Homo-oligomer: A and B are copies of this chain.
């Protein structure tokens, strides 16, 4: 079994740097696009056979060292009782948003394992199909990021409505964040029971907050999740855009931290010392560069992070317009330059 990822997360020495890519299942893969043409988004997510097939595609076709279950962070608002729409080309939306304590009180936090049974089924099926080839990663959105969607109802450049909600009703915001945290912990524990070997928490919009507000509205909930799961599996935290929090997070219960591309590998190491495994941070847009440029940048990235306690990845999700052979060149370059 290729357990490079899990060994690196435990801090063990490995023969080579493991590699996977955020959003590796989907978008840019022709076989995914065929399924996308046949089935709508939630059918793909909620049908274990489809989610499994999509999850396995990058393992088989791109050669990554881990599978990450095909799902969406917005299954949590759904499990809490909110309708989530996913219209092609428009991004996700929630027709009814959270604005008051009453709205928060009405949210469901029980029975997440049953309500999201299709995710557990997809994990179990994927685990079986993988047959030990590579580890399986589960995931969830971080509380702040989920709050952003639940309050704004759709994507935003500034998340100013979510922030206004937090700044004007901090107690309501904290009660919502705690509810999301509680259900997310239960959800991730259920994912582990269903077969996830490690879990990643995506705080995609953490970077919308100032450092002071990140400490109030995001970090405490990330730490709760890391602490609650650390006895089960290694936890990777990915709070995008929060270079200033790297030191604090490196001293948390997390086993790894995802780094976006706006931090140099050297600076990321400086902020975190050798205390934690780092993951990242290739500029997703650089996969559009010619292959020799990709290879050169991969080598520089590995030289920057070093080959110990390091997982090669992108600094954010892979984009739909990346040619598959460029994705493959990225993975192959890590395997070449990341071998000890």
Contacts and interface: CB of A to CB of B under 8 A. Distances in A.
Contact of A167 (B167, B241, B288): B288
Contacts of A286: 163, 167, 210
A316 to B, nearest CB: 8
Contacts of A171: none
A290 B134 CA distance: 51
A160 B321 contact: yes
Interface stretch (A116-124, A220-228, A230-238, A261-269): A261-269
A293 B290 CA distance: 50
B159 A285 contact: yes
A47 interface: no
Interface in A295-326: 300, 315, 319, 321
Interface in A200-245: 207-213, 241, 243-244
A285 B211 contact: no
A315 to B, nearest CB: 8
A40 B264 CA distance: 43
A101 interface: no
A263 B160 contact: no
A285 B163 contact: yes
Copies in the complex: 2
A211 B283 contact: no
Contacts of A26: none
A288 B163 contact: yes
A313 to B, nearest CB: 14
B264 A212 contact: yes
B288 A168 contact: yes
Given A262-B241, A263-B244, A288 B211 contact: no
A58 interface: no
A160 B285 contact: yes
Given A213-B283, A288-B168, A300-B212, A319 B264 contact: no
A293 B167 contact: yes
A339 interface: no
A158 B284 contact: yes
25 contacts: A157-B157, A158-B284, A158-B319, A159-B285, A160-B285, A160-B288, A160-B319, A163-B285, A163-B286, A167-B285, A167-B286, A167-B289, A167-B290, A168-B288, A207-B262, A209-B262, A210-B262, A210-B283, A211-B267, A212-B300, A213-B283, A241-B262, A243-B243, A244-B262, A244-B267
